[in-house]
Structure 1
Amino acid sequence: DWCYQSQFSCDHQCNPNKWDHANSDCDGRYQSPINVVTRKTLLDERLTPFKFTNYQQIFRGFIKNNGHSQVGVPHLSTISGGGLSTTYKAVQFHLHWGNSKGPGSEHTIDGEQYPMEQLHIVHMKHHYTDLSTALADQEGVAVLGFFYEKSNSANRKYDPIITSLRSIKAADGNTSLPPVSLAQLLPPEQNLTSFYRYKGSLTTPGCTEAVVWTLFENTIPLSSDQLRAFFDLKFHDGKPMVDTFRPVQPLNGRQVFRSGATVALTSTALLVAALASALGLSQLN
């Protein structure tokens, strides 16, 4: 009933702008993803650093090609702090990407789209036992979103993911994932204090508006060869699984907040630039 723009054809006239045909909630007012305009964000002092519990825990799971590579996660890993109202436990993570010639993150920052936006790491409030129940709560789900950047060298911490992808190229393929932890897929915890926060929805149908979104500024490096492993996956019709992202949605009056660390980083950059200019060092760049 729904598909990505890369799957659109005369025979398959589905696209992300018509997802309300699949589920009426996809035409809601508080949809995701969005474009974050940094100058319009508001500082929120309540957005303190997260506490990541059991994120270092090694687990074995399965990775499935369901249109955006999904991995189930044991509920041992939890997040708290970060301005969240309670503790949330991890449920699964999945990835979205573009193609070999263009970017594919779902969220954008000041109009910039990154090669991928990963690890939508999906969490639900700790007292719920299933995701569908959590989605009935307006803040029942918390998703951590991370952007990727292209690197000249491979990120060896991603070897378990990349190796597994090569075994699930066909649609609905799944395979066991080598031992991995959530922590190894993320930037170091001390680099996760700078983030944006807003309330939105799932980015696939049913587009339920029950998600507290956190978008981290620090990016995760992946090499071109590692990115290519995602582009080699296939949709059900055998076409390359590329551009698996929903276009940005209207804000409709929502406010996007930023953590204090975001301001600090920006201010420091401006201060360094000012000092360099004053000392005449800018001519050396």
Structure 2
Amino acid sequence: MRSHWQKQVIVLLCLGRVSANMQQLILPALLASFWTLCTGAGDWCYQSQFSCDHQCNAPDKWNHAHSDCEGKYQSPINIVTRKTSKDERLTPFQFDNYQQTFRGTIKNNGHSVQVGVPHLSTVSDGGLPTSYKAVQFHLHWGDNGGPGSEHTIDGEQYPMELHIVHMKHHYTDLITALSDPEGVAVLGFFYERSNSANRKYDPIINALQSIKATNGNTSLIPMSLAQLIPAEQNLTTYYRYKGSLTTPGCTEAVIWTLFENPIPLSMAQLRVFSELKFHDEKQMVGTFRPVQPLNGRQVFRSGGAVILASSVLLMAAIATALGLSQPN
């Protein structure tokens, strides 16, 4: 909405009643005020939400509302596998009570879907300084099954990414944990498109129909964290780095773990997430922050990660060689 003085200035400019010298003074201020109105001091948003009709701070302007978002150690990042360093301390994780079922509430919070988790499931070892208890999980996705993960591996963006957020076991709330540089540990999982539906995700997928509008929430049927992620024996290959929350306030207090083995979902299951709505009724798509600069940080890998990558390359080389040796 233009102010009264802006409307008056525009009329005078159009009628030619402002001198050339005055125009040189007025126009820059007028344009700047329009830019402020358009990009304004409103709530933060994803790039897919931004328009002049919706005054919000897109990712490149998050620092306008939250100064920590221009910190040096931000997330997500692109992981260049050949530049990762093997760390022998990145041993297999100990998952406790991940199999325990709970009846959570799933909510459309206007930016994603989030499920609160009773503080019973914990994770330890895996190079973590102490044990961490699960607090909540949420997801980031693209547009109808298109690229949508926050982190990328060698530039590849997966369709979706799951974040299981944990805090150090002795904290009672996430805000306090975020004041500790290592207070939060997030386990990140990628998704891949599958030819068949993943029935373990039925509680989540079915519930999405009831929470399409912002602030919609509904109870989930009993489920466990373990059913959402790969089997524990398939969680030994992962990457580790120090970073931040991927939404404002972008607090740099997160130990990130990104697992190599993706979770399968069918295209139909992936598309259901795009039926949700932002608070302005726009389709909730592209709910990811672009990758951030490393700024000298080192990304580490567990022992299995490079072995798996090497075996894949070896098999590909063998297959190529066999193909070349076949007669035409």
Q: TM-score range by the shorter chain?
A: over 0.9
List alignment gaps of at least 5 residues for structure 2.
1-42
TM-score, length-scaled by structure 2: 0.83
> Deviations 1:194-243 (Å, cap 9, x if unpaired)?
00000000000110000000000000011111112100000111110000
Is the contact between residue 145 and residue 159 of structure 2 (CA under 8 Å) also seen in structure 1?
Answer: no
Distance 1:26 1:55, change over 3 A: same
Q: How many Å apart are 1:267 and its aligned residue?
A: 2.6
Question: Which secondary structure does the structure 2 equivalent of 1:71 belong to?
Answer: strand
Report the secondary structure of 1:268's partner residue. Answer: helix
* C-alpha separation in 1, matches of 2:302 and 2:324: 29
- The answer as to whether partners of 2:239 and 2:299 remain within 8 angstroms in 1 is yes
State the match for 1:194 in structure 2. Answer: 237
SS in 2 for 1:228: helix
CA distance in 2, matches of 1:18, 1:273: 43
TM-score by length of 1: 0.96
Q: Do the aligned residues in 1 keep the contact of 2:91 with 2:302 (CA within 8 Å)?
A: yes
**Matched residue pairs, number?**
282
Q: 1:111 aligns with which of 155, 176, 179?
A: 155
2:220 is paired with a residue of what secondary structure? Answer: strand
Deviations 1:120-152 (A, max 9, x none): 000000011110110000000000000000111
Question: Which structure has the larger Rg?
Answer: 2
- Spell out the pairing of 1:193-232 with structure 2 (5 A cutoff): 193-232=236-275
What is the match of residue 50 of structure 2? 8
Q: Percent identity?
A: 77
Cα distance change, pair 283–98 in 1 and its aligned pair in 2 (3 A):
farther
The partner residue of 1:82 within 111, 123, 126 is 126
Q: Deviations over 1:167-209 (max 9, x none)?
A: 0000110000111100000011111000000000000011000
Distance 2:325 2:86 in 1: 34
Residue 271 of structure 1, CA deviation: 3.7
1:99 & 1:169 partners in 2: Cα distance? 15
Q: Which residue of 2 aligns with 1:92?
A: 136
CA separation in 2, counterparts of 1:283 and 1:9? 56
Residues 49-88 of structure 1 mapped to structure 2, 5 A cutoff: 49-66=92-109, 67-88=111-132
Give the structure 1 partner of residue 84 of structure 2: 41
Gaps of 5+ in 1: none
| Aligned 8 A contact 2:144 2:272 in 1 | no
Instruction: Tell me whether 1:185 sits opposite 2:228 in the alignment.
Output: yes
Distance 2:216 2:316 in 1: 50
Q: Which amino acid aligns with 1:97?
A: W
Q: Decide which moves more: 16-25 or 264-273.
A: 264-273
User: Deviation at 1:108?
Assistant: 0.5
Aligned with residue 69 of structure 2, among 21, 26, 44: 26
CA contact (8 A) 2:144 2:273 kept: no
Alignment check: 8 A CA contact 2:167 2:183 kept = yes
Which has more helix, going by share of residues?
2
Q: Distance in 2 between matches of 1:69 and 1:283?
A: 51
Counterpart AA for 2:198: N
Q: 1:281 to 1:210 in 2, by over 3 A?
A: same
Q: 1: CA distance between counterparts of 2:299 and 2:273? A: 30
Q: Tell me: higher relative CO, structure 1 or 2? Use CA pairs within 8 A at least 6 residues apart.
A: 1
Counterpart of 2:185 in structure 1 is 142
Q: Structure 1 residues 283, 167: CA separation in 2 closer, same or farther (over 3 Å shift)?
A: farther
Paired with 1:101 and 1:257, the residues of 2 have a C-alpha distance of 29
Q: Equivalent residue for 1:235?
A: 278
CA spacing shift, 1:53–1:13, aligned 2, 3 Å: closer
Cα displacement string for residues 58-78 of structure 1 (whole angstroms, at most 9, x for unaligned residues): 000100001210000011100
**Residues 97 and 277 of structure 1: is their aligned pair in 2 closer, same or farther, counting only changes over 3 Å?**
closer
In 1, Cα distance between equivalents of 2:87 and 2:81: 13
